[in-house]
């Protein structure tokens, strides 16, 4: 069973929901206690006032023009309670002269008018008391005398009522808080079930499973899942690039390395200097082919992680790049004394497309290189640049047997790359590079056979700037 971490959503919700609820409950308890105490005081004060009035009604003027009182038993009996409260009383004239009662009971100083009852809190004989004071007057036929009647009661009953109210309020609020905590826990647990199912589903995945997360989640978590899916997609692209590079390396380098080894072994065993030179020359050519192959594979790995958005923010002069590439090949053919290959370039206007100059140059070089290697001898290769309303168009046409048009489709899955036993690399890896670069630039590539003269034409379309 997992322990509840202070940083968990459940604990945070319990804290933020129950915390304010607890504060509101305490405020409600204090307010209820104050209101109940005030009500209890009002009721008790009314009884205390009635007792003082009952005693005041029995004050009279005697024959000696003095005040006397006949304390009615019922006036004090009405103040008795189950809490053993004690009752004290005192009657004095207007001048403070003691008439009857508890002489040491100090009456509060008031400025009340006649026939008015005032209330005050005090302490008598070590106990808290509530004092009701009535200001009255008694008259004879010749004279009127003012007096004060004070009735004091200890507050045990009032305190007991207040405690009872407080305890009941605490119990109600405690039950409310516990019920709210249980309800919040159940609701939060139910609301977090999609996340728990998501955690379980992800934890069951194998290490090489980098599919996007497609589970239903609460709306508040959709942004997080979307971000994670983006990260997983980047991881997937990186893993795919590594797998492709490893697969291509193990497959493509096998034949060139075998050829280099074979030619070098022949050179070591051969005694004829001319044949040794010939074997070493072939080994050197195989090294050059392997170098070119390594460059293409590294470029292919870079394409797997390239950013479309970044490429589409760049501009490239397709006409100029193609012209430079053709000139480089013409110089190379001349250096290698390949007079059997006639490479021509045609462009009626400057065409600017969106994309990276280096990558687009690699498209052109791969297509011309394939045309030279697989067109036969002699051959005419025409490279043409044109434009439509939306695209810049590159056409490379040769007069050879060409290749299977389905290789373009296979290149999209990188299934066409093979090396022949003769040491010649066929179309696959170059076409994979061309196809990936075109795809990154949101372009199109097609290949078809043509006649008069017979041959193959590859057409690449790239978006204009």
Mean pLDDT of 293-304: 70
Closest CA to 368 of 401, 320, 426, 329: 329
Q: Classify strands 379-387 and 341-347 as parallel, antiparallel or unpaired.
A: parallel
In sequence order, the 6+-apart residues with CB closer than 8 A to the CB of 290 are 253, 256, 257, 260
User: Domains in the chain, ordered, with CATH?
Assistant: 11-162 (3.30.450), 198-242 (no CATH), 310-463 (3.30.565.10)
Question: What is the pLDDT confidence band of residue 419, given thresholds at 50, 70 and 90?
Answer: very low
E strand segments, 263-339? 315-317
Closest CA to 306 of 388, 234, 224, 229: 234
Query: Could you say which DSSP state residue 425 is in?
Result: B
Over residues 436-454, the pLDDT tens digits come to 888 888 899 988 888 777 7
| N-term to C-term CA, the chain | 61
Q: Compute φ and ψ for 99, nearest 5 degrees.
A: -110, -55
Helix (H, G, I), strand (E, B) or coil at 387: strand
Q: Is the pLDDT of residue 62 over 90?
A: no
Question: What is the pLDDT confidence band of residue 407, given thresholds at 50, 70 and 90?
Answer: low
Q: Is the pLDDT of residue 188 over 70?
A: yes
Q: Is the pLDDT of residue 281 over 60?
A: yes
pLDDT of residue 173: 84
Alpha helices per DSSP H over 57-155: 73-77
Angle between helices 193-203 and 219-252 (to 10 degrees): 10
Q: Cα dihedral angle (332, 338, 341, 344), rounded to 10 degrees?
A: 30
Mean pLDDT of 335-346: 88
């Amino acid at each position: 069973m997992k322990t509840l971490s202070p940083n968990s959503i459940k604990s945070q919700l319990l804290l933020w929901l129950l915390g304010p609820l607890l504060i509101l409950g305490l405020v409600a308890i204090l307010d209820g206690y104050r209101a109940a105490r005030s009500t209890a005081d009002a009721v008790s004060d009314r009884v205390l006032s009635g007792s003082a009035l009952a005693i005041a009604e029995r004050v009279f003027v005697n024959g000696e023009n003095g005040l006397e009182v006949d304390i009615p038993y019922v006036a004090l009996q009405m103040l008795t309670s189950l809490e053993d409260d004690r009752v004290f009383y005192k009657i004095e004239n207007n001048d403070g002269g003691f008439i009857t009662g508890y002489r040491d009971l100090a009456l509060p100083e008031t400025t009340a008018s006649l026939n008015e009852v005032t209330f005050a809190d005090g302490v008598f004989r070590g106990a808290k008391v509530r004092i009701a004071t009535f200001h009255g007057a008694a008259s004879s036929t010749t004279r009127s005398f003012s007096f004060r009647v004070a009735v004091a009661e200890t507050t045990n009953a009032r305190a007991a009522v207040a405690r009872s109210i407080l305890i009941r309020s605490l119990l109600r609020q405690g039950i409310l808080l516990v019920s709210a905590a249980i309800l919040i826990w159940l609701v939060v647990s139910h609301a977090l079930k999609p996340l728990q199912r998501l955690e379980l589903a992800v934890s069951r995945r194998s290490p090489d499973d980098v599919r996007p997360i497609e589970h239903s989640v609460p709306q508040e978590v959709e942004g997080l899942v979307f971000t994670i899916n983006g990260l997983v997609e980047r991881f997937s692209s990186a893993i795919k690039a590594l797998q492709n590079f490893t697969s291509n390396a193990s497959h493509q380098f096998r034949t060139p390395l075998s050829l280099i080894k074979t030619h070098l072994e022949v050179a070591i065993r051969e005694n004829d200097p001319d044949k040794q030179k010939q074997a070493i020359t072939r080994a050197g050519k195989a090294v050059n082919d392997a170098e070119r192959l390594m460059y293409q594979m590294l470029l292919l790995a870079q394409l797997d992680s390239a950013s479309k958005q970044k490429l589409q923010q760049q501009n490239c002069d397709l006409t100029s790049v193609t012209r430079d590439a053709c000139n480089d090949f013409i110089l190379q053919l001349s250096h290698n004394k390949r007079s059997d290959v006639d490479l021509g370039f045609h462009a009626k206007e400057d065409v600017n497309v969106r994309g990276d100059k280096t990558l687009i140059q690699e498209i052109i070089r791969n297509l011309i290189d394939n045309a030279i290697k697989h067109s036969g001898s002699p051959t005419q290769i025409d490279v043409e640049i044109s434009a439509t309303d939306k695209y810049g168009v590159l056409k490379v046409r040769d007069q050879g047997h060409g290749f299977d048009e389905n290789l373009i489709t296979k290149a999209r899955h990188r299934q066409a790359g093979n090396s022949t036993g003769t040491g010649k690399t066929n179309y696959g890896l170059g076409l994979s590079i061309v196809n990936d670069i075109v795809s990154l630039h949101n372009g199109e590539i097609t290949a078809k056979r043509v006649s008069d003269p017979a041959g193959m034409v590859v057409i690449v379309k790239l978006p204009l700037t």
